[in-house]
Structure 1
Amino acid sequence: MVSTLCRSPPPQPCSLLCSTLFIFFFFFAAGDSGAAALDTQATYLAKMKEQFPGPGMSRWDFTSSPAPDYCRFPGVACDHGGNVTGIDVTSWRLVGRLPPGVCAALPALRELRMAYNDLRGGFPAGLLNCTYLEVLNASYSGVSGAVPDLSRLRALRVLDLSDNLFTGAFPTSIANLTALEVVNFNENPGFDIWRPPETFTAMARVRVLILSTTSMRGAIPPWFGNMTSLTDLELSGNFLTGRIPASLARLTRLEFLELYYNELEGEVPAGLGNLTRLTDIDLSENRLTGGIPDALCALPELRVLQMYTNRLTGPIPAALGNSTQLRILSVYRNLLTGGIPADLGRYSDLNVIEVSENLLTGPLPPHACAHGKLQYILVLSNLLTGPIPPAYAACAPLLRFRVSSNHLEGDVPPGVFGLPHASIVDLSYNHLTGPVPSAVAGAANLTSLFASNNRISGELPPEIAAAAGLVKIDLSNNAMAGAIPATLGKLAKLNQLSLQGNRLNGSIPETLAGLRSLNVLNLSYNALSGGIPESLCTLLPNSLDFSNNNLSGPVPAPLIKEGLLESVAGNPGLCVAFRLENLTDPAPALPLCPGSGPGGLRRGMLAGGNVWAVVAVCALACATAALVLARRWVVRARQDAEHDGGAAATSPASSCRSYDVTSFHKLSFDQHEILEALIDKNIVGHGGSGTVYKIELSSGELVAVKKLWVKKLSWLGDRELRTEVETLGSIRHKNIVKLYCCYSGAHSNLLVYEYMPNGNLWEALHGSGCFPLLLDWLTRHRVAMGVAQGLAYLHHDLLFPIVHRDIKSSNILLDADLEPKVADFGIAKVLQSRSASSLDASTTTIAGTYGYLAPEYAYSSKATTKCDVYSFGVVLMELATGRKPIEPEFGDTRDIVHWVSGKVAAGAEAEALDKRLLAWSPSPYKEAMVQALRVAVRCTCSVPSLRPTMADVVQMLAEAAPPAGRTPKDNKLDDSSIKDKDPKAAAAPSPPP
């Protein structure tokens, strides 16, 4: 009975058939569902491409047949079943919104990486349904608005929303995401003021917690010491006050501790010396007092110790000399005393020593370069004594060697002058002796050689010309003798040559006239003899000083004309070839040269029998002028007749006949193609002088055409055209917009330029759209450097300097690679030779733009290169602060210059920096931004003579260059990218930067 009940009945034919059909339809339905799921994924990815138009998504090709294999698309990862598990479109420069329903369409999605894009519409709400999402990275993507409650993302391990534009309350709901291992909200200054809640300790797995620049305020909560899984804690750039809690000593796994740029005070907890895994600690830019703990410096893994700009006292612990791991020591701008540890660098691959602006005594550490990795020695402004260690001369990797303003003595090791990679060798303001050796020829990368105010002797070697990159030489106030080498004239980049206060003799080499980039030439207070070469006057209007020598003979007329007699004072043998009148004190009284009378040079010429030659030259000049005026009258009359007779061209053919073409480059187009495209739909802008068109040529190339109207009763249009054509047609520089050709006609003039697809810098910085997200500090610094190099070319590298007179961010164009090009020379002034016009020649109107105008130009109407320097300084402030030149916040009578200068004067430069960029550049970048801001302040000095030249600016920006292509954390881990943060670089007055 039991067996009968338990035994299954035999299968019947109908029942077997039904089962077979059921299984068939089940698998068929399942297969159909899987296909539908795959179709849904393809549909969603296609929707993503539609929502993010642009070149980035062109990599996803949906046109292939029979069906696109999206699992092979760049940035798409799938499992074996064809389900999308990851999307990575980092740095694709996408602009748009993430389509809704991402989690429903891609149920297997585990990783979504969309960093370095422009995500519109705030935080994508659809992501809140992705309960299986493990990695979300939307950093540097311009996401704005509030961050919603994230509690539903239970599987999330990595959350990176750094460098965005969030506002409102900080999302403390992350405390509910107990699977989190990495949390990064770095550089979101728009959050409301907040304090981290103790519920954060529920994130028991979190290893990396980066909350820098998130408007956190108050004391550092001591319960952070309970988050014992932390390996990286970064709270920099906030408003944290009080002491560093001793409880942080319980974070025994900690490797990185970043608390810089806060308002912390008190002593550094000695307990931090218990963090045996610590490799990087940065407590810089606070108000810390007391000493540097010995135990901290004895940590076995410590690689980076940065505590600069505090109020620390006491010695640098000797334990650092025993370290086998130390790479970077940066404790400048404190009150440290005692000596630099003698064994510093003896056992480790030391890369950076920055101890400037302290009260340190004793000698330089002799073993600093024992492992051949040292790149930076920065010990300026201390009380160091003794000689420069001979081993430093063999330290080939050195990039910056700066020991100025100490009490060092003894001969400088010859190899120091010839360090092959050093860009700056600064020995100034010491008691050093010995000569400048011929080994200086090996300094292939040297741009600045400073050794002023020492006891350097011997002759300046001719081999110095082999250091072809030299921009500045300052050997003033030493005991050098002998002749000035003629080879100095080969230093094409030389901007400053200061040799005053020595014992140099012999004549002034005429070869110095070849230094076309020179701005300062000071040979005063020497024993030079002979005459002043007339050829040196080609260096005017730059600073020339030949005073207090033994020079003789006539003073070159251009020096007299420019009122530079003070620059030749103290040379009893000098004379003038004609009587000087109306001189004012303290100009020296110079005698007439022998044979000169009241008629001066003119009388000499006539008395010499050259009267007929002078008459012939005058006659030729008059005839030439008459021909030019006659031709201009005929052309103008013909154009007026055509205009009055209705000859204005209305067809392409007649238009072409009415235009004369002047080309400056090989052209790939003709007049017809340009003229036929001058239609309304191609207009991209209007200016005060005409209309701008964007034209696509048949070749696919884009050009910009500026159409300037000719006004019958005004020569303004012609003057603007002539100025721009003469200026742009004669110059070639990668950072100056290229002018292809000019069409000159009866009713309009056309200038055809290369087209700049990324618009202008004003739009990029202040306009709407994605540009503010793309212009990180690396890009902004590159823009600043490019503009500076372009202006330096205009000011220093041409036969006649050019003052642009309207430098502003809207006149700086950006090409496809975001490289800058200076444009709009319509009001530029080409400075002719000094015999024809003056550098400070007055103009009849004030050109330029309010907010960028130098103060002296506004009241004197005189255009000088220093006006451009001032305007560039304003642009540099825009780049560093992200603000416009005039904003209501600055007050009724204040502008960005006064606002930034006030911040810098108060030591609060960081408050002025663009908050959107601070997290992009927290550790070396932030310092580089501050240095750039200091350069901008120097450029906008109210006294023109105190502003640097553009050649100087290029040098200073090069020194302030941020490490390229690195993240802040990378820079902490790789010493090779650390940048010189020399506080003296922008301080004034101080030894040369």
Structure 2
Amino acid sequence: MVMARYRCRYVTLLFLLFLAIPATIGQGSDADTLLQARTSLSDSAGRLRDWTASTTPCNWTGVACEPRSGAIASIDLSNFNLAGGFPSGFCRIPTLRHLSLAWNDLGGGLPAADVALCSGLEVLNLSNNFFVGRLPEFSGEFPRLRLLDLSGNNFSGDIPPSFGRFPSLRVLSLYSNLISGRIPSFLANLTELIEFNLGFNPFRSGSLPPEIGNLTKLEVLWLPFVNLVGEIPDSVGNLANLKILDLSNNGLTGRIPASIGRLRSVEKMELWRNQLSGELPQSLGNLTSLFAFDASENKLTGKLPEGLAGLNLTSLALNDNRMDGEISTVLAQNPHLVELKLFNNNFSGELPSGLGRYSYLTNVDVSGNQFAGRLPPDLCSRGMLESLVAFGNRFSGELPQSYADCRTLDYVRIQNNELSGKVPDLFWSLPKLYHLELRGNKLEGSLPPNISRAKNLTQIIISDNKFSGQIPPEICDLMELRTFDAGNNQFSSGLPLCIADLTKLQVLDLQQNNFSGEIPAGGWTELAEINLSMNRFSGEIPRSLGDLPVLTYLDLSGNQLSGEIPPELTNLKLNHLNLSGNDLSGKIPDGFDTSFFLPSLLGNPDLCSSSGLKTFRRCPSIKQKALKRIAVTVLLTAAVMFPATAVVLAAVCYQFRRTGKRNAGPLWKLTSFARVGFDESEIFECLTAENLIGIGGSGRVYKVSLKSGQIVAVKRLWTGPDGQNSDREFRSEMETLGRVRHSNIVKLLFCCSAEECRVLVFEYMENGSLAETLHGNKGDQPLDWERRVKIALGAARGLAYLHHDCVPTVIHRDVKPSNILLDAEFEAHVGDFGLARVVGRETEDHSAMSNVAGSCGYIAPEYAYTLKVNEKSDVYSFGVVLLELVTGKRAIDPSFGEQKDIVQWVIDTISPKRAIEVSDMDYEFLIDPRLRPFTFSEYKEMVRVLNVALLCTSAFPMNRPSMRRVVELLSDRRDMNPVVQDQ
């Protein structure tokens, strides 16, 4: 029995050793395969340092094996900072089922031959890399593939037919690429699909295929920003398992189909920013699982269906439509409602009084409607309300006392209603409140001292009410305050002197009150606007106002100010100055002694002008006073001694005056935008051929060295038959640049015009324009990559300022290298605003918009046929500039071929066929050869900027980022991977 037992153990041991031998041999072979494939990857972070032949692959980072057999089953190297091409060698492991290389810096194309090696995979995730070219053909069978994620790359072209032949596919993600064509109907063959993500791709305009209804197992249909048009097909109602439906940011039209009410499992429905019309279907009331519904920014009409209002929604967004009628009281009974957005419609009646009584409301925005009656008192009864926006309605009565207990409230805008009565004292002291806007009502009472407890307040806008009393000194405790607008009220007494200690204050507007006393002054380092007009301030204007570094708006008109105008005020770079209607006296400072500032000085009869400014007496100089005394003495003596002499002198003076008038030059209109030490005569003396540095479509540019040593650039606009365009460009540049202050916008110093001459004087840029530096024939060394990136970022910041921070917004309309100027440090300054347009301003000459403005090669494709001014047109032009910086080529070049520009050339060049012809299938062939040699990190940076350029030059404006987003993409590499998102 003992021998039999030992024999049995011996046989078992031999059997186990026999099983282990193939596994050991297999692991050794697989290790070699992995190590060979790993050589094609750059591992700058050292995450794969444990991949060595001396250890088993099952212990390597990112590798997982089957616990029983020891076979390699999964490789997950996501977010490892790897670079290189697609390591197809991994797929030579026959047991591999899961391959994830997401969130790396892999690039090049995906040849069909390499992808074919992966036919045994169940999961293939290559998302958020830099792959380019057309989507790969999946030749052969991929019977096990359950997840295919190629999102967040730069794939282009059509979706290949092979994508409709994955029998087991459950997740297809192709979002955030450059895929064109139309959404193909053959994708409806993927009947096992659970997630279908194609969003953020510039598809050609097309409808959602009605065959989409065949995907009955679908739970997620995510198609934002794919250029869908036409109506939503009725077959969408067949998707009974759908939980998320997102068709937002498209061009869908027509009614929302009633069949959508059959989506009994849907939880979230996003239909916003389309062109949907008609009434909301009553069948929406059947969607008992729905918790978020957003159909905002459409053309919907009719009333809010009671069935939809009665659902247990957490979020309801119907803003920016044309809906009307009253809101059903059933909405207030929803215990789950957190967010309500109904703004910019025509809703009327009263808001349900019980709104907020049963739910944890957080955000409420009902602005821009016709709501009337009282504000619902229970909005914050659950103590969660953070934002209340209700401006532009007809709400009346007092502000509910219960709002004073809403300690979570941080953002309030209830302006332009008919509210009256006193604001509860405790409301002023809410601890989280940072934006308070109550202007344009009939509110009364005073600011209580407990306002000091609202430490987070940054905006107090209470103008156009009936507030009275004095401003309490406790307001000086609000050290975060940036805007204090209390104009057109009944405040009185003096301002607390400590208000000058609010160092973050940017706007101080107290016009049309009854303030008295002296104007306080102090360390307002961020103050940009002061308006104290129409009060009873007295005393002198504080000289320290002239030291405020960013002050551009100063209005002290209609007060009782006396004394001289402080010369220090001329140090300011003012866009607006008004000192009229006071008791000021003495000499007008030289910087203000021009016709441009004349309206700002009227109503001060004791002022005098050294330049002879009309309506003011001329200031006598010391020399003039002496000469006057001598002249009076001589004339009196001559009149007594020689009566005839007086007659002769009078005749001579009369003739001299006539001759002087006849020989006088043109009447110049002068405008100064900064403190300058020159006048028009010095400028015109230097407009000679020797100083000419450029000739453009709008005029000649001169380099002028002034007597003071300052160097300026002078643009003399063309006149003659094209004088109307010249005048338009002159006014455009003067009005735009005169009020813009940004380090990346060229600074306009001075301008003057006469009947036949218009001149603009700018700060001089030592390195000329980007066009000269990048494409010119200068003997200097070509721009290195570091400077190109600096130029790109500077120009982007300038344009972002115009689009997002200027009020009103400015559209440049002619962004190109010749209009990007470079100073001595190669800092970029956007210039030439002759074609610029201010958004929202009524222009005097509407014909200026009846033709295409801009330069060939930089004009966005949609602009040529819509003629609409839009920020995205500037974004496209800037994208072209980025392509020029990377490639070194001009926007239009004969080498591109007939009827091609740089955008089309780059898109056509980045294709699988072209990529196969170069080593490593990379972008190197696109990069300016003058930048060679470059490091690998520089190469990655070049590819990144090229990526941003392609995004900016998308054929569809909706897919282009804002300039603010472009600045982020160029500044922070981490934001580059999901390159089409967050637009």
Q: Using structure 2 for the length normalisation, give the TM-score.
A: 0.61
- Paired position in structure 1 for 2:197: 184
Residues 1:123 and 2:130 are matched in the alignment: no
**In structure 2, which of residues 294, 305, 315 is the aligned counterpart of residue 293 of structure 1?**
305
Residues 1:73 and 2:61 are matched in the alignment: yes
- Paired position in structure 2 for 1:380: 391
User: Helix, strand or coil: the match of 1:855?
Assistant: coil
After superposition, the Cα gap between the structure-2 partners of 1:787 and 1:285, relative to the gap in structure 1 and judged at 3 Å, is closer
**In structure 1, which of residues 268, 273, 284 is the aligned counterpart of residue 280 of structure 2?**
268
After superposition, the Cα gap between the structure-2 partners of 1:147 and 1:272, relative to the gap in structure 1 and judged at 3 Å, is same
Residues 1:759 and 2:751 are matched in the alignment: no
1:555 is displaced (CA, Å) by 3.1
**In structure 2, which of residues 545, 550, 567 is the aligned counterpart of residue 536 of structure 1?**
545
After superposition, the Cα gap between the structure-2 partners of 1:477 and 1:22, relative to the gap in structure 1 and judged at 3 Å, is closer
Take 1:857 and 1:225, find their aligned partners in 2: how far apart are those partners? 48
Take 2:247 and 2:291, find their aligned partners in 1: how far apart are those partners? 17
1:532 is displaced (CA, Å) by 1.6
- Paired position in structure 2 for 1:588: 602
1:243 is displaced (CA, Å) by 1.3
Does the aligned pair in 1 maintain the 2:277–2:298 contact within 8 Å?
yes
Pairing 1:183-222 to 2, within 5 Å after superposition: 183-191=196-204, 193-198=206-211, 200-222=212-234
Gaps of 5+ in 2: 1-12, 75-96, 611-616, 627-692, 695-703, 713-741, 746-777, 840-855, 877-947, 969-974
Residues 1:322 and 2:336 are matched in the alignment: no
Deviation sequence 1:146-170 (CA, Å, 0-9, x none): 2112233222111111121111242
Residues 1:487 and 2:494 are matched in the alignment: no
Q: Which residue type is aligned with residue 69 of structure 1?
A: P
Does the aligned pair in 1 maintain the 2:815–2:858 contact within 8 Å?
no
After superposition, the Cα gap between the structure-2 partners of 1:848 and 1:785, relative to the gap in structure 1 and judged at 3 Å, is closer
User: Helix, strand or coil: the match of 1:201?
Assistant: helix
**In structure 1, which of residues 843, 848, 853 is the aligned counterpart of residue 832 of structure 2?**
853
Does the aligned pair in 2 maintain the 1:111–1:136 contact within 8 Å?
yes
- Paired position in structure 2 for 1:420: 431
Does the aligned pair in 2 maintain the 1:887–1:895 contact within 8 Å?
no
- Paired position in structure 2 for 1:676: none
Deviation sequence 1:349-401 (CA, Å, 0-9, x none): 21111111111111112111222222211111011111112232332333321
Take 1:582 and 1:27, find their aligned partners in 2: how far apart are those partners? 98
Does the aligned pair in 2 maintain the 1:435–1:459 contact within 8 Å?
yes
- Paired position in structure 1 for 2:52: 64
- Paired position in structure 1 for 2:8: none
**In structure 2, which of residues 410, 431, 435 is the aligned counterpart of residue 399 of structure 1?**
410
Take 2:798 and 2:464, find their aligned partners in 1: how far apart are those partners? 35
1:598 is displaced (CA, Å) by 8.1
Q: Using structure 1 for the length normalisation, give the TM-score.
A: 0.60
1:531 is displaced (CA, Å) by 1.8
User: Helix, strand or coil: the match of 1:125?
Assistant: coil
1:456 is displaced (CA, Å) by 1.1
Does the aligned pair in 1 maintain the 2:483–2:506 contact within 8 Å?
yes
1:347 is displaced (CA, Å) by 1.6
1:181 is displaced (CA, Å) by 0.8
User: Helix, strand or coil: the match of 1:121?
Assistant: strand
User: Helix, strand or coil: the match of 1:457?
Assistant: strand
Does the aligned pair in 1 maintain the 2:504–2:524 contact within 8 Å?
yes
Does the aligned pair in 2 maintain the 1:291–1:315 contact within 8 Å?
yes
- Paired position in structure 1 for 2:173: 160
User: Helix, strand or coil: the match of 1:473?
Assistant: strand
Deviation sequence 1:764-789 (CA, Å, 0-9, x none): 99xxxxxxxxxxxxxx9999589989
Does the aligned pair in 2 maintain the 1:500–1:526 contact within 8 Å?
yes
Take 1:565 and 1:183, find their aligned partners in 2: how far apart are those partners? 55
After superposition, the Cα gap between the structure-2 partners of 1:128 and 1:71, relative to the gap in structure 1 and judged at 3 Å, is farther
Q: Which residue type is aligned with residue 261 of structure 1?
A: R
Q: Which residue type is aligned with residue 424 of structure 1?
A: H
Does the aligned pair in 1 maintain the 2:439–2:465 contact within 8 Å?
yes
Q: Which residue type is aligned with residue 379 of structure 1?
A: A
1:189 is displaced (CA, Å) by 2.6
1:508 is displaced (CA, Å) by 1.0
**In structure 2, which of residues 535, 551, 576 is the aligned counterpart of residue 526 of structure 1?**
535
- Paired position in structure 2 for 1:170: 183
- Paired position in structure 1 for 2:72: 82
Residues 1:552 and 2:562 are matched in the alignment: yes
1:454 is displaced (CA, Å) by 0.4
Q: Which residue type is aligned with residue 538 of structure 2?
A: S
**In structure 1, which of residues 254, 266, 273 is the aligned counterpart of residue 266 of structure 2?**
254
Q: Which residue type is aligned with residue 250 of structure 1?
A: R
After superposition, the Cα gap between the structure-2 partners of 1:416 and 1:325, relative to the gap in structure 1 and judged at 3 Å, is same
Over the aligned positions, Cα root-mean-square deviation in angstroms equals 5.5
Pairing 1:779-818 to 2, within 5 Å after superposition: 784=800
After superposition, the Cα gap between the structure-2 partners of 1:400 and 1:502, relative to the gap in structure 1 and judged at 3 Å, is same
Q: Which residue type is aligned with residue 759 of structure 1?
A: V
1:135 is displaced (CA, Å) by 1.4
- Paired position in structure 2 for 1:434: 445
Deviation sequence 1:191-244 (CA, Å, 0-9, x none): 45244133x333221111122332332221112112211111222222322211
Residues 1:501 and 2:531 are matched in the alignment: no
Does the aligned pair in 2 maintain the 1:102–1:127 contact within 8 Å?
no
Does the aligned pair in 2 maintain the 1:760–1:811 contact within 8 Å?
no
After superposition, the Cα gap between the structure-2 partners of 1:410 and 1:114, relative to the gap in structure 1 and judged at 3 Å, is farther
1:588 is displaced (CA, Å) by 2.6
Take 1:577 and 1:502, find their aligned partners in 2: how far apart are those partners? 29
1:112 is displaced (CA, Å) by 2.4
Take 1:603 and 1:334, find their aligned partners in 2: how far apart are those partners? 70
Take 1:530 and 1:310, find their aligned partners in 2: how far apart are those partners? 53
Deviation sequence 1:467-517 (CA, Å, 0-9, x none): 222222111000001111211212222221110100111111132xx2132
Residues 1:307 and 2:318 are matched in the alignment: yes
Q: Percent identity?
A: 30
User: Helix, strand or coil: the match of 1:59?
Assistant: coil
Q: Which residue type is aligned with residue 826 of structure 1?
A: A
1:428 is displaced (CA, Å) by 0.7
Does the aligned pair in 2 maintain the 1:579–1:592 contact within 8 Å?
no
Take 1:129 and 1:760, find their aligned partners in 2: how far apart are those partners? 49
Does the aligned pair in 1 maintain the 2:173–2:197 contact within 8 Å?
yes
- Paired position in structure 2 for 1:625: none
Deviation sequence 1:870-899 (CA, Å, 0-9, x none): xxxxxxxxxxxxx99644654599896688
- Paired position in structure 1 for 2:824: 826
- Paired position in structure 1 for 2:92: none
1:93 is displaced (CA, Å) by 3.6
- Paired position in structure 2 for 1:457: 468
**In structure 2, which of residues 585, 588, 594 is the aligned counterpart of residue 575 of structure 1?**
585
Take 2:129 and 2:458, find their aligned partners in 1: how far apart are those partners? 38
After superposition, the Cα gap between the structure-2 partners of 1:601 and 1:344, relative to the gap in structure 1 and judged at 3 Å, is farther
Pairing 1:91-102 to 2, within 5 Å after superposition: 91-98=103-110
Deviation sequence 1:921-959 (CA, Å, 0-9, x none): x9xx999978979xx9xxxxxxxxxxxxxxxxx9xx9xx
User: Helix, strand or coil: the match of 2:500?
Assistant: helix
Gaps of 5+ in 1: 1-19, 607-687, 690-712, 722-732, 737-747, 766-779, 793-804, 813-821, 830-846, 859-865, 867-882, 904-913, 937-953, 958-963, 972-978, 980-993
Does the aligned pair in 2 maintain the 1:187–1:915 contact within 8 Å?
no
1:426 is displaced (CA, Å) by 0.7
Take 2:417 and 2:802, find their aligned partners in 1: how far apart are those partners? 36
1:433 is displaced (CA, Å) by 1.0
Take 2:864 and 2:494, find their aligned partners in 1: how far apart are those partners? 57
User: Helix, strand or coil: the match of 2:259?
Assistant: helix
- Paired position in structure 1 for 2:633: none
- Paired position in structure 2 for 1:36: 29
Take 1:321 and 1:886, find their aligned partners in 2: how far apart are those partners? 51
